[in-house]
Structure 1
Amino acid sequence: MNIVVLGAGVIGVTSAYYLAKAGHSVTVIDRQPGPALETSFANAGEVSPGYSSPWAAPGVPVKAMKWLFMKHAPLILHPTADAATWRWMLALLRNCTAERYKVNKGRMVRLAEYSRDRLADLRAETGIRYDERMQGTLQVFRTQKQIDAIAKDIEVLRADGVPFEVLDRAGCIAAEPGLGEAAERIVGGLRLPGDETGDCFKFTEALADLCRGLGVTFRFGVDIRGLKRASGKVTAVETGTGDIAGDLFIAALGSYTPALLAPLGLRLPIYPVKGYSITMPVVDEARAPISTVMDETFKVAITRLGSRIRVGGMAEIAGFNRDLHDARRGTLLHSVGDLFAGAADTREVNFWTGLRPMTPDGTPIIGATSCSNLYINAGHGTLGWTMACGSGAVLADLIDGRRPAIEAGDLALSRYA
């Protein structure tokens, strides 16, 4: 079957890989000159199944009000937000109940754990390299109140059989010795030893090369203008260089997927939540993180990527605005400087922003649509890197009529009906 994948981020490229492995002829289209040059380019670098949690959680509305007045706020809301923004935010608020949180987190962890296992398989089969480390993730807490609030997360981790460790201050420093200088600022942590880290951009570039070896065609620098449809099926992709036909089409355009599918009558509740990152060279190994440390107070992840440190986080509700703001850079520098002072060269900072495609319940949309030959793989939010391989494998199974290794019915667009 000739399959056209729209989007060459980590989700689109992993989709292409698993489809090509299944024997399909695959073409990937993207407006950028290469793979993973938008949201996948400089994300936080963590593959963290256990920390796969929906933003919509009990207590978040109250916390959000407090965050809006913090100097180094994890949430930034612009007062000029349009009607689409408010609709998405109201849908998110409706998911801020204990019952919905448990359901949403459960299916997110299910997909993320499966994805981590598929990533390990891929690594073993191909030898792919991407500054990977398999040394767990540590969430550090600065207050006892934060520790007390993890009970609901631990309940889900136990139910899904995810290994975890609740650590005191000394345990945190034993896991991440670079925190020694910041000992008085932390009270404990939650460590997930099964989590991994790695450079999503390097991974996607390397996987695209493997895809070419399987016969996948990449068409870069091509603007996607719309989908042509006849008799309930998509017939071609309309692009700036002409129509591209296929037997089956996959929409994997992240935050831009809803606009592409809206003319077909498909409404996707995916919103572009803006995030930021900085990347700096390591100058003191002893002070640097070993893996990923998540600063719960500022919702910032600090990740070791080879000889670099990547610091990413924040949620800015600003539509498709991609401006870089110095205040956000300041928040990221504050978090890493507070926990790992002297570890990185802050004079050489690569400052970046990307648009995370968020659904209001936190779970991506993977599966079929009302158009018989159109599938979706989008809406992974902050977890595209964590969930990429699992999402691609599930999608390939669904397209070929195989039963996926995990329950996938609740990942489809139909759950919003």
Structure 2
Amino acid sequence: MKVLVIGSGVIGVTHAYYLAKAGHSVTVVDRQPGPALETSYANAGQISPGYSAPWAAPGIPVKAMKWLAQRHAPLKLHPQMDTTMWKWMMQMLSNCTESAYAVNKERMMRLAEYSRDCFIQLRKDTGIQYNDRQQGTLQLFRTDKQVKASQSDIAVLERCNVPYEVLSMDQCIAIEPALERVREKFISGLRLPGDETGDCFEFTNKLVEISKQMGVEYLFDTTVNKLLSRGGNIIGVDTSAGELTADIYVVAMGSYTPFLVNPLGLELPIYPVKGYSLTVPIANADAAPVSTVMDETYKVAITRFEDRIRVAGTAELSGYNLKLREPRRETIAMVVRDVFPDGGDIDKAEFWTGLRPMTPDGTPLVGKTQISNLYLNSGHGTLGWTMSCGSGKLLADVISGNQPDIDPAGLDVSRYS
């Protein structure tokens, strides 16, 4: 079949790769001049199935109220005259229960663990390299309260058969030697050895070249105006390059997906949660992280690439605003200085922001819609890089009529019907 994929971030490109591998004729269209130039450009660099958990969790409403008054808080809210934002927030709050958290976490872990397996197979099949490391993620705790709170997450890891290691500070330093410089700031850690790291932008661009060799066509600098429908089917896409047609249409536009499908009666609960990152040149390799370190207090991830450190974190609800706010830079710069004070040259860091497409329950929308030839691959929030390969392979199987490798139940938009 002929498939048109709208969006060339890591989600759209991985999906195009798996569609081509399944034998389909694939075209990818994007308004940008190249792939991965929006949310996929400078994310945290983590492929972290072990940390795949919904933000909507018991206790979050109370924490969020406290965070609003803190200077270096993980969450900031800039109120908008936007009914969509407030409706999304109410839906998120309704998922902050023990029962909803358990259901949503299982769905996310199921897809994320599968995606990590797909990454492993893709590397074997293609030989792709993208500053990738398979050395796990270390979550650092500063207080006994954080250690106690981690027990509920450990229980979920055990239920999902995810390997983990509870480490003393000496053991943390054995994994990340540069922490010796700041050992007095932390008391212990939780390590997920199955997690990986890598440069999402580099991966996506290289996979574009690989998929081109498989026959995938990319139309960049092409704005999608609207989907054209007739009789309950999509019959084409109106773009700046003219009308494009296919048998199957897949929308992978991240936070902008609702704008394209809402006119068709598909009201998607996807809202942008703004994130920030710094890309810091390494000044002293021995004083830099080995893999990814997560500071639990500030919810900031510090990831090692070959010659750079990627520091990413904070969540900001401010609509579709891409303004680079200096207080957010100060927060993530403060964390990397605090944890790896001699590792990088902060003065030469690149400051970036992107809009992460978040659903109220944390689980992405991957699968069919009520329109027979329209599919969604969006709403991955902070886990687009983590879930990209799994989402692409799962949806390619669904479109091809093949039995998926994992149960797709609860992953498509029907759960919001």
TM-score category (smaller protein): over 0.9
**1:236 aligned residue:** 236
- 8 Å contact from structure 1 (residues 72, 298) kept in 2: yes
- 8 Å contact from structure 2 (residues 11, 392) kept in 1: yes
Cα 1:145–1:13, aligned 2, differ >3 Å: closer, same or farther?
same
Aligned to 1:113, the other structure's residue is in SS state helix
Deviation of 1:347 (Å): 1.6
Query: In the alignment, residue 373 of structure 1 is paired with which amino acid?
Result: N
Deviation of 1:222 (Å): 0.4
Query: In the alignment, residue 2 of structure 2 is paired with which amino acid?
Result: N
- 8 Å contact from structure 1 (residues 19, 396) kept in 2: yes
Deviation of 1:236 (Å): 0.5
- 8 Å contact from structure 1 (residues 81, 318) kept in 2: no
Rounded Cα–Cα distance in structure 2 between residues aligned with 1:120 and 1:221: 32
Rounded Cα–Cα distance in structure 2 between residues aligned with 1:157 and 1:290: 23
**1:397 aligned residue:** 397
**1:385 aligned residue:** 385
**1:48 aligned residue:** 48
- 8 Å contact from structure 2 (residues 14, 207) kept in 1: yes
Aligned to 2:302, the other structure's residue is in SS state strand
- 8 Å contact from structure 2 (residues 80, 319) kept in 1: no
Deviation of 1:59 (Å): 0.5
For each residue in 1:334-393, what CA deviation from the matched residue of structure 2 results, as whole angstroms up to 9, or x when unmatched? 000000001001121100000000000000000001110000000000000000000000
**1:122 aligned residue:** 122
**1:372 aligned residue:** 372
- 8 Å contact from structure 2 (residues 134, 194) kept in 1: yes
- 8 Å contact from structure 1 (residues 169, 186) kept in 2: yes
Rounded Cα–Cα distance in structure 2 between residues aligned with 1:86 and 1:170: 45
Gaps of 5+ in 1: none
Deviation of 1:79 (Å): 2.6
Rounded Cα–Cα distance in structure 1 between residues aligned with 2:81 and 2:124: 46
Deviation of 1:181 (Å): 1.2
Deviation of 1:180 (Å): 1.1
Cα 1:398–1:172, aligned 2, differ >3 Å: closer, same or farther?
same
Deviation of 1:80 (Å): 2.9
Query: In the alignment, residue 218 of structure 1 is paired with which amino acid?
Result: Y
**1:315 aligned residue:** 315
Deviation of 1:101 (Å): 0.7
Rounded Cα–Cα distance in structure 2 between residues aligned with 1:142 and 1:269: 35
Query: In the alignment, residue 255 of structure 1 is paired with which amino acid?
Result: S
For each residue in 1:226-277, what CA deviation from the matched residue of structure 2 results, as whole angstroms up to 9, or x when unmatched? 0000111001111112110111100000000011000000011000000000
TM-score between both structures, scaled by the size of structure 1: 0.99
- 8 Å contact from structure 2 (residues 79, 317) kept in 1: no
Query: In the alignment, residue 248 of structure 1 is paired with which amino acid?
Result: I
Deviation of 1:71 (Å): 1.1
Rounded Cα–Cα distance in structure 2 between residues aligned with 1:100 and 1:305: 36
Identity across aligned pairs (percent)?
Answer: 59
- 8 Å contact from structure 1 (residues 81, 319) kept in 2: no
Gaps of 5+ in 2: none
Aligned to 1:376, the other structure's residue is in SS state strand
Q: How does 1:10-409 map to 2 (within 5 A)?
A: 10-409=10-409
Query: In the alignment, residue 398 of structure 1 is paired with which amino acid?
Result: V
Query: In the alignment, residue 165 of structure 2 is paired with which amino acid?
Result: E
Query: In the alignment, residue 376 of structure 1 is paired with which amino acid?
Result: L
For each residue in 1:47-93, what CA deviation from the matched residue of structure 2 results, as whole angstroms up to 9, or x when unmatched? 00000010000110010011111111111101335211110011000
How many pairs were matched up? Answer: 417
Rounded Cα–Cα distance in structure 2 between residues aligned with 1:81 and 1:295: 33
Aligned to 2:346, the other structure's residue is in SS state coil
Query: Which aligned segments of 4 or more residues in structure 1 are displaced greater than 6 angstroms?
Result: none
Cα 1:81–1:291, aligned 2, differ >3 Å: closer, same or farther?
farther
Deviation of 1:104 (Å): 0.7
- 8 Å contact from structure 1 (residues 282, 288) kept in 2: yes
Query: In the alignment, residue 114 of structure 2 is paired with which amino acid?
Result: Y
